[in-house]
Chain A
């Protein structure tokens, strides 16, 4: 079951907004509604957020993303459509039941922190619990624990005015964590922070999310932030969701020009991973084979290097063509394996981190999974091509591979094993 499920949500501002919903469903555009005194902020938004994921809604200012997040906990009532949280359709709840949902299921972090300046950091962090009616000693203990999680131990006695922006937002985060809800809504939570602090907070959020398994709906106008944080990203424009997908899907398969133009400036090296650009080796050599078999295979495929793998697909080593040639010439039976200079990497390493590793060795980067099994290789040319145009699969020297294929482990038929 989804943690949050929004279906056909409209939010239109103005008098008698229902007529706007009908008009939009009949195919009129925003401008026509404006002329009739209606402002459609969210148009037919449908999405679902899985438990334990970070779902990012990304859009420029005026795209309706802040309005959308407010319909999820009904700070704004949707004009039409339904929002289901943990199986409860909140659109129909009365005041008391809605407050119950907000206390127990959904907390929120705000762009400008929204702390209470007359209360200490500790009292601010305990606010959600105070509203819930938790007794003083319990809520102080839980607030202190939450402050510890965000790295603010010992700051409970300070006033928010004594803290820097980044620290204040940590208090905002601690307040949401202390409330103990499974779902957290974060409305441009890091947008008011300077870039260094923002990055630090993003790391902390990812870390917390993994430890506590919270479901997070995150709003941002910063695409790099969206790509970094989001398990799924919804791209919004003019009130509509244009595309929902993972960062890679949106980068590599934008549904329309708007999304494509939007993502063209993204720093791909931080988003694309080894899994996105790696290639299947054209041929592989079994570890039982000898130098002559290696030479035959390399001639056939015009290779100057060849990987040697064991039966369980762990990498035994790499052969250079000149090494193989001299081994055959000398009549040796053992393979002249090259091992020391090999570089291994995991499939989720970002391009950014691959450059340094690739530069230190003439051999191709070898991508393998946690068990050490070969997944693919990244020759220098592929890495350079990826940096140049961001397209996986290189420039035709090697067969192009679509992102879907490369995530599956090599199956024997695609590469010849002797």
Chain B
């Protein structure tokens, strides 16, 4: 491709450098990448197998009950209808494969994101380094990760999984940092004034008070993971994404619609569920009711000194 050339600025071959970098990695560390890939593949397959081992009917009952406990009966009814529709359309297996990738990627992303967020909240230097890296991860078009990931890890779940993690990570870090920074300064001072160690302050004050914000971050991670899991279908990861890619290739409008609707059901279910874990929570949920009544009785025991 010809482009306008400047007489002042020399041209640089960033593309060539990255390419030779990836070549060098594959040339020298092929075995390590393959082994890593195999391990991940085994783990994700195990998770998906477990999800598929449960009969769809039973799985729906479990998911609906979860919705009832954590949110409301209205949500439970809605998710029962939506999930049944997924089964009716014959999309259950693909949906569970996608769910597996999303769950796995989310867990890994949160495990990485929260500690980084905590570090960034406590240290300006870390924060200043982390910010541009997150910007890079979030704005670099997702497809760009996919190609080197496929070269390094081969076709299958793993490249999709890894690019999903990279793509979904940033809001987890950002909202953890934000959540901890916006904890009332006087409350943290109270911890210090009573002689709490930094660890006691983090665990007893900052993390609990930042939980709603951190959970909003986890919710974002899940939603990004879901959208990326569909793109991961291009790299050969089984699931709804792969069906959508197929439907585009074959111009199969029907398949595309069915797979697409299933993604929507999964997305809404995961979004509402994680949003209600986020703390503010609705009072209509069974869980909130149970928590309230149990909280009372425990606290009463505390005050009566039994």
Q: How large is the interface on A (under 10, 10 to 19, 20 to 34, 35 or more residues)?
A: 35 or more
B31 within 8 A of A: no
User: Which of B190, B197, B209, B302 is close to A110, meaning CB atoms less than 8 Å apart?
Assistant: B190
Contacts of B204 in A (CB 8 A): 116, 130
Q: Is the CB of A111 within 8 A of B302?
A: no
Q: In the complex, A46→B91 CA distance in Å?
A: 77
Q: Which of A3-11, A120-128, A234-242 contacts B (4 or more CB under 8 A)?
A: A120-128
In this complex, what residue of A is CB-closest to B194?
Answer: A128
Q: Is the CB of A140 within 8 A of B195?
A: no
List 5 tightest A-B contacts by C-beta distance, closest first.
A157-B299, A156-B303, A103-B195, A102-B195, A114-B190
Q: Is the CB of A117 within 8 A of B209?
A: yes
Q: In the complex, A132→B200 CA distance in Å?
A: 11
Contacts of B190 in A (CB 8 A): 108, 110, 114-115, 127
Contacts of A116 in B (CB 8 A): 187, 204-205, 208-209
User: Which of A100, A108, A122, A127 is close to B299, meaning CB atoms less than 8 Å apart?
Assistant: A122
Whether A157 contacts B302 in the complex (CB less than 8 A), given A114-B184, A116-B208, A118-B209, comes out as yes
Over the window 180-194 of chain B, the binary record of Cβ atoms lying under 8 Å from chain A Cβ atoms (1 yes, 0 no) is: 000010110111111
Q: Is the CB of B193 within 8 A of A73?
A: yes
Contacts of B305 in A (CB 8 A): 137, 140-141, 144
- B151-208: which residues lie under 8 A (CB-CB) from chain A? 184, 186-187, 189-197, 200, 204-205, 208
24 contacts between A and B (CB under 8 A): A70-B189, A99-B195, A99-B197, A102-B193, A104-B195, A107-B194, A108-B194, A110-B189, A110-B190, A112-B186, A114-B184, A114-B187, A118-B208, A120-B302, A127-B190, A128-B194, A128-B195, A130-B204, A131-B195, A131-B196, A140-B302, A157-B300, A157-B302, A175-B194
Q: Is the CB of B186 within 8 A of A114?
A: yes
Contacts of A137 in B (CB 8 A): 305
What does DSSP make chain B's interface, helix, strand, loop or mixed? Answer: helix
Q: In the complex, A110→B205 CA distance in Å?
A: 16
B296 within 8 A of A: yes
Tell which of A100, A131, A141 has the most Cβ of chain B within 10 Å.
A131
Over the window 274-312 of chain A, the binary record of Cβ atoms lying under 8 Å from chain B Cβ atoms (1 yes, 0 no) is: 000000000000000000000000000000000000000
Contacts of A112 in B (CB 8 A): 184, 186
Q: Is the CB of B186 within 8 A of A111?
A: yes
